[in-house]
Amino acid sequence: MVLDTVKLEYQMKKDEELSYKIRVNSQRETSDQGKVQTDKDVLTLNMTQKVVAVSSDGIYDLEMNVTPLELVRNSEPIKLEVQSQSVKLKMSRSGEILAISMPSPATQPSFPTKPLRKGESWIGESKINLPGKADPFILKFNYMLWGLEKVKGYECAQIQVSSPETKIPIEEQVTQKVSAVGTTYFAHKEGRLVKSDVETKTAMDFPGGYVKTLTQIFVELQEAFVPEAPADEEFIIKG
């Protein structure tokens, strides 16, 4: 299929509910006075996203619930106290978070408002709130619309994302370096995230040691509940 232009924006209906499976692989290496320790975690979660309301100008009121399912640390299962965490937020069609019910360490970049062609790139920004700092640190992300790909039955825009290694001043004599790379698959016709994988590396040096982390986050749509008109007709799409 020849790709002309694609508009990346969320298209939601009131009472729509999406269910995602999330897996977080993380590796942490710590060195303190020459003593090195490495830990590996695999955390599996379920996330549901429900549309509570849609305003006339396209602002979505969302309720998100995240439930931890399983944690494995250094190949050993860890017992979890299963407690769902609920977050309410307002989001624009472009994905900009306008309000959120709990403090967030960083903002998420939003989509461009104009249609995009294959190979077109853009820059997004994430504001990171640092402890003890009045102003947030701006982390830049590079995006490119790579093309179209069929994923889980959806025609998806394949978006390549990367963030070059950036130094973040934490405190005196402590600087953290962070970089990221990944791919997002966004169903541009239905206006929803279908799949994403992002790998983030961090390294923090301090007097006498360091901390290095490698985090891989995999997100995949499992089920979509979409109300139809009339309101009593509904259907479920399984991913």
Cis before 103? omega within 30: no
Q: How far apart are the first and last CA of the chain?
A: 23
pLDDT at 107: 78
Task: For CA atoms 100, 59, 17, 180, give the dihedral sign.
Answer: negative
The residue that leads in pLDDT, 173 or 119, is 119
Instruction: Using pLDDT thresholds of 50, 70 and 90, give the confidence band for residue 229.
Output: low
Confidence at residue 3, expressed as pLDDT on a 0 to 100 scale: 56
pLDDT of residue 177: 93
What are 34-74's pLDDT values in tens digits? 899 999 999 999 999 999 999 999 999 999 999 999 999 99
Instruction: Tell me the pLDDT tens digit for each residue of 96-151.
Output: 999 999 877 777 889 999 999 999 999 998 888 776 676 788 889 999 999 999 99
pLDDT tens string 176-209: 899 999 999 999 999 999 999 999 999 999 888 9
Rounded mean pLDDT, 154-169:
94
Residue-wise pLDDT tens digits, 13-28: 999 999 999 999 999 9
Q: What is the predicted pLDDT for the residue at 32?
A: 92
pTM: 0.89
Note the pLDDT of residue 137: 83
Q: How many whole angstroms separate alpha carbon 102 and alpha carbon 90?
A: 12
Q: Which residue bears the tokens 């077109």? A: 120
2.50.20, 2.30.230, 2.60.40, 2.40.10: CATH of 5-238? 2.30.230
Task: State the pLDDT at residue 104.
Answer: 74
pLDDT at residue 8 in the model: 97
pLDDT for res 34: 87
Q: What is the pLDDT confidence band of residue 232, given thresholds at 50, 70 and 90?
A: very low
pLDDT band at 233 (very low <50, low <70, confident <90, very high): very low
What contacts 173, CB < 8 A, 6 or more positions away?
206, 207
Q: Is the pLDDT assigned to residue 236 strictly greater than 60?
A: no
